[in-house]
Structure 1
Amino acid sequence: MSDIATQDGKAAQAVVPPLSATSPMYNLPEMRALYLAFWEALVAELGPESGDLPEAFAFDRPAVPDAIGPEVFFSQTCGYPLQTIYRGQYQLLGVPTYDAPGCGEATHCAFILVRDSSPFQSIEDLRGTRFACNSRQSNSGMNLPRRLIAPLAGGKPFFSKVVETGTHPFSMARVAAGELDAASIDCMTFAYFSEHRPEAVAGLRVIARTPPSPAIPFVTSIATAPARVEALRAALLALSSKPQHRPVLQALRIAAIGPASLAPYERILDYEREAAELGYPELV
């Protein structure tokens, strides 16, 4: 803690949150043991001289928190808020290449899902339907489908309704229940649910893919000291390259972890700009 001045001139103690480590994007309860094994392997690569570390790997951080605060030692975050609300708050550590449909080298996409029993066969068929969006700050749930739909929308609303559900799982559940007609779901979310909770996606099918996007990166706070940032980057690369860690990564469907740079993530805002130039600045 540190002293800060109050209005009456007295000193108060500023509470510094404890360091946190988490992976909030893909944290199904069924996968928690896998993430704990991943964290333990990363800590092993950081070594005994790594300094203070988070006491535990946390599972309660929201997928899109309000900010990347100084307490964030290790996390993973969606690429769209990375380019918007999180600018100046983070440092990139590495980027995974996932082994799942829809993924390429350090890239992913979103799948447009509908009920298996619905008549929809293409994106054009979704005109005038009810669309589930997990968050207006989501790359896979909002930004990528916006770019996909922009050439078809003709500068007009495409859906009859866009409902913000809060999470990808909620979006899938509402489509499966018939409350909404379609959703755009991160392909890795779909892959993990297909593997660990197949009943949740059994009544859904993919009718289209969005354009590709840089994969969701590992990050640390801008407040993390440079030496610790370099140690985290080296540990992630070591985790990816050493055979003893391969079972941990394979269980999470991570084929490799490579260096991350800002340049590929600019493409995410290019999609936003291109959709606006096509007359479709909002997913509507």
Structure 2
Amino acid sequence: MYNLSPKISASWDLFFHWLASRSGVELEVIAHAAPAPLSELWGRPDMGAVFMCGFPFSRLAADERPLPLAAPVSLADWAKGQPLYASHIVAARESPLKEADLVSARWGWTVRDSQSGYNAPREFFAALAGGQPARETIGSLLNPRGVVDAIRSETIDVGAIDAYAYQLLALHEPEMVAPLRIVATTKPAPFPLLVAAKQQPPEIVEALRGNLLSAHRDREGLALLAALGLARFAEPDIAAYDQLPARARTIDEALGPW
């Protein structure tokens, strides 16, 4: 989910190699680049530590869910020291759009099972527009890079980018977000969490979970987290994820699909 560029992917690779070494669990870092569906990745029986969006996680029955390991806590102010994230509503840097103008803008979205790229901007728009339909919506743009490209090509006026993805780009690939301007930020939601396959033995799951939760107390682990814009990993609040389907239904009733 957050392999946004070769440079950022390399930072993640270093972190997961550290996790494998500290936990004594052999982890193979695999590429699963867009447009390969994330649902295929989440269905693999050999998942060791894989990011999963909270919305598809929340829609699975308890006995169908992969095993939650940990959720990141960003160093950014919007996280407020908690395993939360949001979406930035972004436009071209030279665009004169203000928040009130977004009702009449052309919106882009990523994929319909995304909290950050679909449900969060719809929830924001529904509150802003008061039941008024969007002028035009365009998708699926797949991921934050697709949103950036669509804005730069003037295919859309605004789109939502996962605030943590934006943070990573600003940290490692500032030229990618340089053409953008944050117009607004959505309500927070529980951060995408790292999960393991249900088939993994309990001792492997506990080793991975324990080392993720204590990574910030390890000198090397803390440095690797900082390179990823993270303060630490925290225990996921499963009850917070369970609230996401109800939020989505409220959006559907107010706005309908994009």
CA contact (8 A) 2:119 2:248 kept: yes
Q: Secondary structure at the match of 1:94?
A: strand
Structure 2 residue ranges without an equivalent (≥5): none
Deviation readout 1:95-150 (Å, 9 max, x if unpaired): 1101124323110100000112222111x312232211111111111111111121
| Higher RCO structure (Cα 8 Å, ≥6 apart) | 2
Compared CA separation, residues 134 and 101, structure 1 to 2 (3 A)? farther
Are residues 1:271 and 2:247 paired? yes
Alpha carbons 1:74, 1:218 under 8 Å: kept = yes
Question: 2:32 aligned to 35, 50, 60, which one?
Answer: 60
Q: Is the 8 A contact 1:101 1:191 kept in 2?
A: no
Task: Indicate the SS of the match to 2:148.
Answer: helix
| SS of residue in 2 equivalent to 1:206 | strand
Q: Which amino acid aligns with 1:255?
A: A
Q: State yes or no: 1:217 paired with 2:193.
A: yes
Query: Contact (CA 8 Å) 1:25, 1:78: kept in 2 or not?
Result: no
Following superposition, the deviation at residue 63 of structure 1 comes to: 6.6
In the TM superposition, residue 226 of structure 1 has moved relative to its aligned partner by 2.0
Q: 1:38-117 residue pairs with structure 2 within 5 A?
A: 38-47=15-24, 50=25, 53-54=26-27, 56-61=28-33, 62=36, 64-66=38-40, 67-84=42-59, 88-104=64-80, 105-117=82-94
CA distance in 1, matches of 2:48, 2:195: 8
Which residue identity does 2:43 align to in structure 1?
A: I
Q: Is the 8 A contact 1:115 1:203 kept in 2?
A: yes
Q: Give the corresponding residue for 1:121.
A: 98
Q: 1:99 to 1:86 in 2, by over 3 A?
A: farther
Query: In structure 2, which of residues 149, 153, 164 is the aligned counterpart of residue 173 of structure 1?
Result: 149
| Alpha-carbon separation, structure 1, partners of 2:60 and 2:91 | 30
Q: Which residues in structure 2 correspond to 1:116-155 (within 5 Å)?
A: 116-122=93-99, 124-155=100-131
The CA RMSD over aligned residues, in Å, is: 2.0
Runs of 4+ off more than 6 Å: none
In the TM superposition, what is the alpha-carbon distance from 1:60 to its structure 2 partner?
2.4
- The C-alpha deviation readout for 1:11-62, integer Å capped at 9, x for no partner, is xxxxxxxxxxxxx334421123312221122112213xx4xx23x3122254
86 and 210 in structure 1: CA distance in 2 versus 1, 3 angstrom threshold: farther
C-alpha contact (below 8 Å) 1:126/1:159 kept by paired residues: no
1:30 equivalenced with 2:17 (yes/no): no
Q: How many residues align?
A: 253
1:196 aligns with 2:168: no
> Structure 1: which amino acid aligns with 2:135?
F
The structure with more strand, counted as a fraction of residues = 1
SS at match of 2:196: strand
Q: Deviations over 1:207-242 (max 9, x none)?
A: 111000111111011221222211211121232322
Cα pair 1:38 1:248 within 8 Å, conserved: yes
The one-letter amino acid paired with 1:58 is I
1:4 alignment partner in structure 2: none
**TM-score normalised by L of structure 2:** 0.89
1:11 aligned residue: none
Q: What is the one-letter code of the residue matched to 1:135?
A: V
Paired with 1:198 and 1:76, the residues of 2 have a C-alpha distance of 23
Matched residue of 1:119: which SS? coil
- Normalised by the size of structure 1, how large is the TM-score? 0.82
Of 135-144 and 28-37, deviating more is 28-37
Instruction: Name the CA distance, whole Å, in 1 between partners of 2:3 and 2:245.
Output: 23
**What is the DSSP-based 3-state SS (H/G/I as helix, E as strand, rest coil) of the residue aligned with 2:104?**
coil
Q: Aligned equivalents of 1:63 and 1:38: distance in 2?
A: 24
Comparing both structures, which one devotes a greater share of its residues to helix? 2
How far apart are 1:86 and its partner, in Å? 8.4
